[in-house]
Amino acid sequence: MERNPADSLVAARNGLRLAFKAGRWEDVLRFWEAVQDAGQARLRAQFEREDKIATLGQTRGLSALAAWAAGQQGDLPRAVEILESGRAQLLREAQERQRRDLHALAGGEYDALYQAYRAAARQVDDLYALPYARRPADWGQQLAAAQGTLQQATDALRDQAPGFKYFLRPLPFEAIREQAADAPLVYLAATDRGGFALVVPPQTAEAWHIPLPQLTDKSLRERVQGPDDDPAWGGYLGAYLRWRNDPGDETARAAWFTAPEETLDWLGKAVMRPLVTALQEKGLPQGALVRLAPGGWLGLLPLHAGRWTMDGGRETVDGEAPSTVHGQPSTFALDHYTFTYAPSAQALYHTREDASRPADSLLAVRYPDPNFQLADQAVAAALDVFPPERTIPLLMEKATLGAVRQAFAQHAVLFFFTHGFADFNQPLNSGLLTADEQRFTLDEILSLRSQRARLAVLSACETGVPSDVRNVDEVVSLPSGMMQAGIPGVVGSLWSVAESSTAILMSIFFEEWRTHGLTPP
């Protein structure tokens, strides 16, 4: 395995897919373990993020197949663990290495464990950082020895330091359940045999399985990117990209405006209506918080806005009249529950403590676009609900990249009103535009760390879109980057948004949050 993890990974992946097609569930799970072993061996031999992303891309969709197999065997806790282990693995690793309680070990009772781990990790990093031309003949042997030392130091932390039992490991079901103590955590996945939701509910030891027979991998893929036999991008994402590339094209505009309507209907029928109905039958109160962890292409879609035609009667919260779309009474998923999104339970685990930070200061960044009509009102609405002495307004020409960098870690709430973009070709170049026409990129955000921030509000286009469509399960996006930088809650957008309506929404958001007690994500 360690000698040739690349070939072992391919063999295990192919074996898993064949076993799934044949319905041999025990073999699927056996191959899944082999995929995990080979994948981890391969990742240990890689240093560059792009190389790791490529390796993780080879296992895309396999966790859904393995979780289905575990579900077929009646082992729902294992199915949950499998889906959790297949999500946001690089984010998990980064958050684990940056956790504050790790560095708090320095100088205390477990200082020796901490120093051993830091020295071993530094030795591995230094070896990887050597340019190829300067690597000695025994570099491979040195690296293997260093990795062995690092593994020993990691195991010692797990075994001896309180709170580090799962350090650099996927969470087991018991720990995942702890992250659902205040609200259900819902994993969503699609396979060729159909889709399913696994709900980890609060205050119960059992997971819930909700079959979603219309959510096949093929139907989801074609809904997002178009038919498999068409090399051009189609579907929801293709319509969006064509309009995005040429907003003046009326045909592209009409196609894009139609695509979300069709997608919301499909999401309601295939995913959200069955989910909402099951949650209602389980007794979850209307308006309750529900966290979604969508897998694969589902991570690109506005699940909370999935809608369906009503069968009759009033179905919305607080007695409000139902929505009407194209003349037909309809209800949206968000009419029933308050949905937020999480990359994984591990991400919740790392942000739980940070979510209690006081939201007592504001950084407001306003890009100087002369075409903005209501941006000033939105920024003013945000500034008005914070004490003046606790705000830093970086407005117009003051909103430079340097000023944003300097202020990033100094405030509890970061409010950007600017232009945003998801770079689907180079995902780490996704980012926010600053006044000096520079980009505050995801790549840079990943290198930052804030010990104060509670919430980032990214009022710009495409700020919530996972931009690495090669491996959507890694959730490469501005929100996950902000979470890695230490910010537990992020508000973003799933497509290009109009400035005026966004400004109105932001004004309402800050008033509802700061004046009327709305709870932020």
Question: Packing angle between helix 499-514 and helix 375-384, nearest 10 degrees?
Answer: 10
pLDDT at position 2: 46
Angle CA 153–159–165, to nearest 5: 105
Q: Determine the average pLDDT of the residues in 209-218.
A: 97
Q: Phi and psi (nearest 5°) for 419? A: -100, 135
Question: CA–CA separation, 173 vs 179, rounded Å?
Answer: 10
Q: Determine the average pLDDT of the residues in 183-193.
A: 97
pLDDT exceeds cutoff 50 at 37: yes
Question: Packing angle between helix 62-72 and helix 25-44, nearest 10 degrees?
Answer: 150
8 Å CB contact between 303 and 272: yes
pLDDT at position 476: 80
pLDDT at position 467: 81
pLDDT at position 319: 47
8 Å CB contact between 226 and 238: yes
8 Å CB contact between 333 and 305: yes
Percent of the chain scoring above 90 in pLDDT: 64
pLDDT at position 156: 94
pLDDT exceeds cutoff 90 at 521: no
Q: Determine the average pLDDT of the residues in 295-305.
A: 93
Kindly give the pairing relationship between strand 194-200 and strand 289-294. unpaired
pLDDT at position 448: 87
**Average pLDDT value over all residues in the chain:** 89
**In this predicted model, what pLDDT tens digit does every residue of 259-272 receive, in sequence order?**
999 999 999 999 99
Kindly give the pairing relationship between strand 489-491 and strand 455-459. parallel
pTM: 0.87
Q: Determine the average pLDDT of the residues in 11-39.
A: 96
**In this predicted model, what pLDDT tens digit does every residue of 453-495 receive, in sequence order?**
999 999 999 999 888 877 776 778 898 889 888 899 999 998 8
pLDDT band for 512, please (50, 70, 90 cuts): very high
| Beta carbons within 10 angstroms of residue 480's beta carbon | 26
pLDDT at position 171: 87
Listed range (18-27, 258-267, 327-336) with the worst mean pLDDT: 327-336
**In this predicted model, what pLDDT tens digit does every residue of 406-441 receive, in sequence order?**
999 999 999 999 999 999 888 889 999 999 999 999
8 Å CB contact between 371 and 499: yes
- Candidates 74, 80, 285; CA nearest to 198 is 80
pLDDT at position 180: 94
Question: CA–CA separation, 431 vs 456, rounded Å?
Answer: 13
pLDDT at position 379: 97
Q: Which two tokens stand for residue 521?
A: 């994500």
Listed range (49-63, 73-87, 128-142, 308-322) with the worst mean pLDDT: 308-322
pLDDT at position 90: 66
- Please, is 414 exposed, middle or buried when counting C-beta atoms within 10 Å of its C-beta (0-12, 13-18, 19+)? buried
Q: Determine the average pLDDT of the residues in 366-385.
A: 96
Q: What DSSP assignment string belongs to 304-356?
A: GG-EEE--SS--SGGGPPPEEETTEEEEEGGGTSEEEE-S-HHHHHHHTTGGG
| Beta carbons within 10 angstroms of residue 101's beta carbon | 12
List Cα–Cα distances, 75 to 23, 82, 207, 344, in angstroms: 16, 11, 10, 20
Helix (H, G, I), strand (E, B) or coil at 293: strand
Task: Give buried/exposed letters for 175-186 (b at 16+ CB in 10 A, else e).
Answer: bbbebbeebbbb
pLDDT band for 320, please (50, 70, 90 cuts): low
Q: Which long-range contacts (CB under 8 A, 24 or more apart) does 510-516 make?
A: 510/381, 510/382, 510/384, 510/385, 511/381, 511/385, 513/385, 514/385, 514/386, 515/385
List Cα–Cα distances, 352 to 341, 342, 355, 376, 379, in angstroms: 14, 12, 5, 33, 28
8 Å CB contact between 358 and 453: no
